[in-house]
């Protein structure tokens, strides 16, 4: 069990585009275990390797109440099946304390490798569809706030940086 530290906005490393995972190695399996530990501890419903500064195309997700149904997606791709949105409120472990409703397609076809490198395809809807798109954005160096207006994004950036400066200065008191 290992907890990894989560990069926070506006860290430029969150802008890295992750590489395809090429083979099943102990390093990859250990990274998956550590990502699950980190996601559960955070706690979050999803985590992208980018957020823990490991730039490989790996996503962990668990939407279950009991936190016992992990999904691992390796080299995932999506196809949009429905442009309509459920307007779900979205937060991010890399921008703690903020959330915004985003317009995201509410039905997608996901193609991915599983943890044991077998290929799967499935349809995702609702929060799962949103979460997979959110994590895929991370792997492409994007954050959910990039989908907002520049006015809204700058507002969040200013508030977030201000809140963190306050936090850091109170820690050093």
For binding to ligand GNR (CB under 6 A), which residues are involved? 44-48, 51, 90-94, 130-131, 134-135, 138
Q: How far is the CB of 172 from ligand GNR (least distance, A)?
A: 27
Strand-pairing partners, residue 72, are 60
Segment contacting Ni ion by CB under 5 A, of 18-26, 54-62, 87-95, 125-133: 87-95
| Long-range contacts of residues 95-102, Cβ cutoff 8 Å, at least 24 apart | 95/8, 95/9, 95/143, 95/144, 95/145, 95/156, 95/160, 96/8, 97/160, 97/163, 98/145, 98/156, 98/159, 98/160, 100/144, 100/145, 100/148, 100/152, 100/156, 102/130, 102/144, 102/147, 102/148
Report if residue 145 touches Ni ion, rule: CB under 5 A.
Answer: no
Residue that the structure tokens 């997608």 belong to: 108
- Contacted by 105, from ligand GNR, Ni ion, none: CB < 5 to 8 Å by type: none
Q: How far is the CB of 69 from ligand GNR (least distance, A)?
A: 15
Q: From the candidates 66, 84, 100, 135, give the one annotated as an active-site residue.
A: 135
Whichever of 44 and 105 has its CB closer to ligand GNR, that residue is 44
Q: How far is the CB of 90 from ligand GNR (least distance, A)?
A: 4
Q: How far is the CB of 136 from ligand GNR (least distance, A)?
A: 10
Please state, in angstroms and rounded to a whole number, the distance separating the CA atoms of residues 26 and 19.
Answer: 17
Does the annotation count 135 as an active-site position? yes
Report if residue 92 touches Ni ion, rule: CB under 5 A.
Answer: yes
Phi, psi of 117, deg, nearest 5? 65, 30
- Contacted by 45, from Ni ion, ligand GNR, none: CB < 5 to 8 Å by type: ligand GNR
DSSP letter at 19? B
Chain residues in the site for Ni ion (CB under 5 A): 92
């Amino acid at each position: 069990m290992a907890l990894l530290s989560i990069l926070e906005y506006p860290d430029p490393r969150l802008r890295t585009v992750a590489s395809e995972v090429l083979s099943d190695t102990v390093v990859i399996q250990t990274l998956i275990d550590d990502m699950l530990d980190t996601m559960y501890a955070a706690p979050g419903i999803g985590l992208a390797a980018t957020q823990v500064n490991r730039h490989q195309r790996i996503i962990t997700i668990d939407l279950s109440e009991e936190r016992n149904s992990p999904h691992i997606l390796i080299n995932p791709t999506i196809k949009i099946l429905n442009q309509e949105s459920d307007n779900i409120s979205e937060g991010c472990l890399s921008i703690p304390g903020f959330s915004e409703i985003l317009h995201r397609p509410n039905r997608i076809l996901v193609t991915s490798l599983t943890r044991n490198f077998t290929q799967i395809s499935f349809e995702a809807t609702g929060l799962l569809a949103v979460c997979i798109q959110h994590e895929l954005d991370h792997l492409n160096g994007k954050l959910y706030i990039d989908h907002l207006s520049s006015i809204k994004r700058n507002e969040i950036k200013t508030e977030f940086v201000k809140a963190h400066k306050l936090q850091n200065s109170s820690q050093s008191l």
